Amino acid sequence: VADDDALDAVLADAARDVADRARALSRRDPDLDIE
């Protein structure tokens, strides 16, 4: 449970950066880009 709690905290803290990375990686992929 402690490990899960730690993972929750790290993922929440990194969510915006990971989302930015997901967008950046998808810009070269026409099927997955938002534009």
**Ranges of H-type helices in 1-35:** 2-26
**Cβ–Cβ under 8 Å, residues 32 and 26:** yes
- Residue 2 lies near another protein (rule: CB under 8 A): no
Distance CA 35, CA 31 (A): 10
- Residue 14 lies near another protein (rule: CB under 8 A): yes
CB of 6 to another protein, least distance (A): 8
- Residue 27 lies near another protein (rule: CB under 8 A): no
* Footprint on this chain of another protein (rule: CB under 8 A): 3, 7-12, 14-23, 25-26, 30-35
